[in-house]
Structure 1
Amino acid sequence: METDRFEALIDAILAIIITVIVLEIPLASLGTWDSLYELRYEFIIYAVSFIVCFNFWNYNNNIFSIVNKIDYKVIWTMGATLLVFSLLPYFTTFVGENFYAFFPQFMYGLCFIITAILSIIIGKFLKEADPGNIALQLALSNHYPLYGTIILVLIGMIIGYFIFPPAIMICCLASILGIWCIPKIQCYLT
């Protein structure tokens, strides 16, 4: 199966998710800096969620630019991933309204971990669906950044449970930076 329509669907869903996230930011009650400052946590988690969405789009865009064909396993696993990922607006609002509470931060991090696990599975299915594609096989040869994401967010959950709940969101953001930096570091080391 060709990938063009599938990629367009992913792009459309991500655009809707980002739109819903920004629409969930409440309006400042008064036209003052103080009332805008009261919404600082909503804006912080929005910025993190936007970066998460952009990173997800960028990762998939880069992978699907070299994919020649997909099968039903890729489609259904990506569908499950997008289902989990579509909860991001809800958890963004949940965290924004309960910034220092553990449970909202935990649910935000859990969404992140499940998305990373499903991305690893999608990589496996993509390699199976297009076994002759050497570029794809090399691009998906290791999932260290995704494993790093899972480990880092789990560490954030432990810190968040015992000490500081926003550590989960901070670890989510740090893992994205890791996904961007680790491949570049690996290139310099080889």
Structure 2
Amino acid sequence: METDRFEALIDAILAIVITIIVLEIPMASNGSWQALFDLKYEFIIYAISFMVCFNFWNFNNNLFSVVNKIDSKVIWTMGITLFVFTLLPYLTTFVAENFYEFFPQLLYGLSFIITSIFSILISKFLRDSNPGNIALYLVLEKDYIFAMTIIFIAIGIIIGYFVYPPAVIICCLLSIIAMWTVPKIRHS
């Protein structure tokens, strides 16, 4: 199967997810700076969720630009990944309204872990369905970043459980930053 329509589906789903996330930010109770400051957790988690969406789109855009064909394994694995990803608006609001509670933070972190695990599978399935595609192999040589994300989030979950629940979301943010910087450092 060609990838154009599949890429369009991914783009559409991510656009809807971002729209829902931004619509879930509550309005300030009045026009004061204090009312806006009271929404700081909503804005923090929105910013992180937006970066998650952008990062996911950017990776998939770069990836599928070099993919020649996909098969049912790629389609269904990406479908499951997108299902988990569409929970992001709910999880964003859940964390924003319960910022210092461990369970919402845990669920947010688990969505990162599940997405990373499925991304590893998608990478494997794409290699299998595109043998000899050198460009694809070059893009996927950085798929260690998914394992790095799992490790970051696991550390955040441990710290969050025992010490400080927002450590989970901090580690989610750090994993995104690492995804952008570590490949550049390794190639320098």
* TM, length-normalised to structure 2: 0.98
SS of 1:67's partner is: coil
* 2:136 pairs with 1:136: yes
Letter in 2 for 1:31: G
Segment of structure 1 superposing worse, 144-153 or 132-141: 132-141
Q: What does residue range 95-114 of structure 1 map to in structure 2 within 5 Å?
A: 95-114=95-114
Supply the distance in 1 between the matched residues of 2:114 and 2:69 (Cα, whole angstroms). 25
* 2:52 pairs with 1:52: yes
Cα deviation, 1:7-53, whole Å, max 9, x if unaligned, reads: 01000000000000000111111121111111110000000000010
Residue equivalent to 2:93: 93
Letter in 1 for 2:91: F
How many positions carry a matched residue from both structures? Answer: 188
Supply the distance in 1 between the matched residues of 2:7 and 2:158 (Cα, whole angstroms). 36
Cα deviation, 1:78-116, whole Å, max 9, x if unaligned, reads: 000000000000000000000000000000000010000
Residue equivalent to 1:14: 14
Cα deviation, 1:111-163, whole Å, max 9, x if unaligned, reads: 01000000000000001111121111232235211100000000000000011
Segment of structure 1 superposing worse, 178-187 or 148-157: 178-187
Residue equivalent to 1:39: 39
Instruction: Determine if contact 1:98/1:104 at 8 Å carries over to the other structure.
Output: yes
Q: List structure 1 segments (4+ residues) > 4 angstroms apart after TM superposition.
A: none
Instruction: Determine if contact 1:160/1:166 at 8 Å carries over to the other structure.
Output: yes
* TM, length-normalised to structure 1: 0.97
Q: What does residue range 22-33 of structure 1 map to in structure 2 within 5 Å?
A: 22-33=22-33
Identical pairs, percent: 69
| Gap regions ≥5 residues in structure 1 | none
| Gap regions ≥5 residues in structure 2 | none
Supply the distance in 1 between the matched residues of 2:181 and 2:41 (Cα, whole angstroms). 27
